[in-house]
């Protein structure tokens, strides 16, 4: 494992944590944001999910794509986003009895941290910009 993959893993987890923390803070009323709670409380769950997703999904995907000699960023981004969407859909499966609009309101904010993580990982880990280049 080279330094680019390590850096990509760390930065991708940080990106997931930042986006998830910002989404949590934006979803709260100002009266609900306690001054006693440190801002790390909002950042750490996303950081944890991002690190787990990088280790168990993005790194294996990167190694599989490289083994098959498909080293394009586009393939890594599409595969990573597809895995994150699958994960979110499986986690929110208990909410499938909701109307479609309410379910989308639940799911769409959950997609953003993973997409940010995948984009950061794909661009930092490298690979060619496309399969031809």
Nearest C-alpha neighbor of 54 from the set 82, 84, 93: 84
The per-residue pLDDT for range 16-56, each reduced to its tens digit, is 999 999 988 887 666 655 666 677 888 999 999 999 999 99
**Alpha-carbon distance 103 to 110, whole Å?**
11
Residue 72, pLDDT score: 84
Mean pLDDT, range 103-116, rounded to an integer: 90
Following CA atoms 121, 61, 17, 103 in sequence, which dihedral angle do they give, to the nearest 10 degrees?
A: 120
**Is 102 or 95 the better-scoring residue by pLDDT?**
102
**Alpha-carbon distance 39 to 32, whole Å?**
13
122 token code pair: 């794909």
pTM of the model: 0.85
The per-residue pLDDT for range 48-68, each reduced to its tens digit, is 999 999 999 999 999 999 899
Residue 91, pLDDT score: 85
DSSP-based three-state secondary structure for 109:
helix
Q: Inform me whether the pLDDT recorded for 117 exceeds 80.
A: yes
């Amino acid at each position: 494992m080279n330094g680019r993959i390590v850096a990509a893993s760390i930065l991708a987890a940080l990106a997931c944590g930042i986006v998830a923390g910002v989404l949590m803070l934006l979803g709260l009323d100002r009266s609900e944001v306690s001054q006693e709670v440190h801002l790390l409380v909002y950042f750490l769950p996303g950081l944890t999910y991002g690190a787990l997703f990088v280790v168990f999904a993005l790194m294996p995907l990167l190694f599989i794509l490289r083994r098959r000699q498909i080293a394009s960023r586009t393939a890594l981004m599409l595969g990573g986003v597809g895995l994150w969407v699958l994960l979110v859909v499986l986690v929110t499966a208990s909410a499938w009895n909701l109307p479609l609009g309410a379910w989308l309101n639940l799911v769409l904010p959950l997609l953003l941290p993973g997409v940010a993580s995948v984009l950061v990982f794909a661009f930092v880990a490298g690979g060619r910009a496309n399969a031809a280049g």
